[in-house]
Chains A and B, each alone.
Chain A
């Protein structure tokens, strides 16, 4: 069965600094990987997803993620964080032919001025 681990419950970065949010997954084959973002009191919005091909995936709002099979990781990055990026970020994994997407516990991002 697939699973997702987000090791950091919360992270604080300064505005303009770079960001990396960690995600590790467990799945026997190549998974379908997602990053979603949730603003306070709102639903989730897809940032990016990886199915196959190029291991560096570009998403919306200037985010990117890199799939590393050898490390079972799919870390999210942004070169320069804006105050509006403060939110909760969820990594998720799905299996081909499966009906469910498994979500990590989330990482809350705080941005300081």
Chain B
């Protein structure tokens, strides 16, 4: 089955540690996205990538980093510089590199809790 996988489903981190969230897609989509979801705030864009080896900051990129070395993979690192990292993180992909008007396909999410 084609789709997007995210791992782990739950992640606990101590303050001061960096953690990496995995996102893999087998849909052959060009664009990939990372969103942060907090209660009552909807989805906020962290980073997006239109093609391999290219990515752009979204609205709340501070304290996060990404890479796009393969078309299928778009891992997100939450660094110790992120002041309030506890949230639900969603990865998505869309077929077109210009994804603003394209349907986005979402993974099941990773819930990160900082202890």
Contacts and interface: CB of A to CB of B under 8 A. Distances in A.
B107 A43 contact: yes
A101 interface: yes
B48 A99 contact: yes
Interface string B2-43: 001000000000000000000000000001000100001111
A9 interface: yes
B82 interface: no
Interface stretch (B61-69, B72-80, B95-103): B95-103
Given A98-B98, A99-B48, A99-B98, A46 B103 contact: yes
Contact of B101 (A45, A51, A90, A104): A51
Chain A interface residue count: which class? 20 to 34
Q: From DSSP, what is the main secondary structure of chain A's interface residues?
A: loop
Contacts of B107: 43
Interface in B99-115: 99-109, 111
A95 B101 contact: yes
Interface in A34-57: 34, 36, 41-46, 49, 51
12 contacts: A36-B106, A43-B90, A43-B106, A43-B107, A94-B99, A95-B101, A96-B100, A97-B98, A99-B31, A100-B48, A100-B58, A100-B99
Interface of A: 9, 32, 34, 36, 41-46, 49, 51, 90, 94-101, 103-106
Given A46-B103, A99-B48, 16 more contacts: A9-B40, A41-B108, A43-B90, A43-B92, A44-B43, A44-B106, A51-B101, A95-B100, A95-B101, A96-B100, A97-B98, A98-B100, A99-B50, A99-B56, A99-B99, A100-B48
Interface of B: 4, 31, 35, 40-43, 45, 48, 50, 56, 58, 90, 92, 98-109, 111
